[in-house]
Chain A
Amino acid sequence: MSTHTVTMTINGRRHTGTVEARVSLADFLRDQAGYTGVHLGCEHGVCGACTVLVEGNAVRSCLMLAVQADGAGVTTVEGLAAADGTLHRVQEALMNEHGLQCGFCTPGIVMTMAALSGEGKKATETELLDALSGHLCRCTGYQGIRRAAQQLAKPEAMDTANGEQS
């Protein structure tokens, strides 16, 4: 059983820790770095609740070892809103469209949508819905989430993403 020192930049801050090789990125983020917004549902890649961004790409943090993320930049749901509490546009859209109830699956869903509709990115509704097939939500029946995706895919949403007013 080997242990490893890992360093990663999480939400813009450097974290160094020592982990057993078997520790998942999700457990490292939660237990060592304190980012408990990373939710663990199934721990075998089915539910999508643990989705985070690694180098900007949405991945399941239960299906990646912490040691694999050594040197990487990681974003969790805690890293999305601005310092003054202004919500990320994905969070805003989900809130406006009632895209959550209990909130367990929400951080994962937010991260997937942020990966595709974040700063300077513009996914179509089809692309968003295809990516959202990787998430399970037991409360909402998905319709609110779907409406949030539609809102994010609207043309005017792109202008805001690019920092321009139409």
Chain B
Amino acid sequence: MKPAPFDYVAPTTIDEACAILAEAHGGATVLAGGQTLLPLLNLRMSQPFILVDINHIAGLKGIARVDGGTLIGPMTRQCEAIENTALQQHLPVLVEAVRHIGHHQTRNLGTIGGSVTLGEPAAELPATAVALKATIEVRSIRGSRNIPAADFYLGPYMTVLEEDELVTGIRFPDWSPGHITLFRELAQRPGDFALVGLAGALSIESGKVARAGLAWFGMGPTPMRARAAEQLLLGQSVHEIDPQAVAAAAINDTAPFDDQHASAEYRRTVGARLFASTLREAIRVREAA
């Protein structure tokens, strides 16, 4: 289990990295934390001609508070995100999601951008980015663009990212202070991909839901945004919310599949219960506070 041969370059600026990607015409693969890529290389499921290591680009690291939100450099390590006080304060759902990625040892190298960009449908971060209405900033020698996370994912490991484009930032808008946070996943063992998972946030103003973001992971070919459930919640008083009805609406926006771990039917049944109980508990915690 050794990778096929490849060339390796480690650019130090975003422009340099973009030039290499453009020149490679699709033969290049970007190395961020490598915690998914290295297994794929070792198993020879991925055989790039050239590996572009972006670990030495200072401009891709760090977490910054920006107007109305938080900008996370894609090369921010998952372990750094967990420890970051700004994220703990403003994006508790994201921090909770990152805690569920892999293991301590893989979170030391694994990055926020790597997980968001890869688009594994059962992974925590793509769904969290969709739920929290993040925007993915990308750059190429052709220019830059900002892509809403909800429009970023096309299928398993397939995104709208072009082969010459590099993710340069993930921007999460602020949710109002004290927003309701939802995160739950069911996995066979800690660190495994989720059989079913959900992430979400509800901003509350004058006792009513002013903004809702909900998404599933492990419930379809991409992160699945629960639009109908978001619509149902908007404008509702917190004490009027019927978690079971919201869960029923949310489960309609899924397309789960059968695999060796669980049937689609199992995922739907468990998903609806998980959703309802997570929402019920989050409301209870809020009302108690």
Given contacts A57-B108, A59-B109, contact A43 B103 (CB under 8 A): no
Number of interface residues of A (CB under 8 A): 29
Given contacts A58-B104, A133-B191, contact A63 B5 (CB under 8 A): no
Q: Is the CB of A59 within 8 A of B7?
A: no
Confirm or deny: B64 has a beta carbon within 8 angstroms of a beta carbon on chain A.
no
Confirm or deny: B159 has a beta carbon within 8 angstroms of a beta carbon on chain A.
no
CB proximity of A115 to chain B, nearest CB, Å: 8
Given contacts A63-B35, A63-B38, contact A22 B4 (CB under 8 A): yes
* Cβ 8 A contact of B51, one of A21, A45, A131, A134: A21
Confirm or deny: A75 has a beta carbon within 8 angstroms of a beta carbon on chain B.
no
| Cβ–Cβ < 8 Å partners of B191 in chain A | 133-134
Q: Is the CB of A65 within 8 A of B34?
A: yes
* Cβ 8 A contact of A130, one of B43, B51, B104: B104
State which residues 53-78 of A face B: CB under 8 Å.
57-60, 62-65, 67-68
11 of the cross-chain contacts (CB-CB < 8 Å) are A2-B6, A4-B8, A21-B6, A21-B7, A22-B4, A57-B79, A60-B106, A63-B34, A63-B39, A68-B34, A133-B191
Rank and list the top 9 A-B pairs by shortest CB-CB distance, nearest first. Answer: A134-B103, A21-B8, A1-B5, A44-B39, A131-B104, A63-B38, A133-B190, A22-B3, A43-B1
CA distance A4 to B31 in the complex (A): 17
Confirm or deny: B53 has a beta carbon within 8 angstroms of a beta carbon on chain A.
yes
CB proximity of B288 to chain A, nearest CB, Å: 24
Q: Is the CB of A68 within 8 A of B106?
A: no
CA distance A51 to B104 in the complex (A): 11
How many interface residues does chain B have, given as a range? 20 to 34
Q: Is the CB of B104 within 8 A of A112?
A: yes
CB proximity of B221 to chain A, nearest CB, Å: 23
* Cβ 8 A contact of A112, one of B41, B43, B105, B189: B105
CB proximity of B29 to chain A, nearest CB, Å: 12
Confirm or deny: B55 has a beta carbon within 8 angstroms of a beta carbon on chain A.
yes
> Which residues on A are within 8 Å of B, measured CB to CB?
1-2, 4, 20-22, 24, 27, 43-45, 48, 51, 57-60, 62-65, 67-68, 112, 116, 130-131, 133-134
Confirm or deny: B42 has a beta carbon within 8 angstroms of a beta carbon on chain A.
yes
Q: Is the CB of A64 within 8 A of B5?
A: no
* Cβ 8 A contact of B38, one of A45, A130, A131: A45
Confirm or deny: B2 has a beta carbon within 8 angstroms of a beta carbon on chain A.
yes
Q: Is the CB of A48 within 8 A of B105?
A: yes
| Cβ–Cβ < 8 Å partners of B103 in chain A | 48, 131, 133-134
| Cβ–Cβ < 8 Å partners of A45 in chain B | 35, 38-39, 106
CA distance A4 to B51 in the complex (A): 13
Q: Is the CB of A1 within 8 A of B7?
A: yes
* Cβ 8 A contact of A62, one of B10, B38, B55, B102: B38
CA distance A131 to B109 in the complex (A): 14
CA distance A44 to B8 in the complex (A): 20
Of chain B, the residue at the smallest CB distance from A51 is B105
Of chain A, the residue at the smallest CB distance from B56 is A68
* Cβ 8 A contact of B105, one of A27, A44, A60: A60
Q: Is the CB of B105 within 8 A of A131?
A: yes
Given contacts A2-B8, A20-B5, A22-B2, contact A44 B108 (CB under 8 A): no
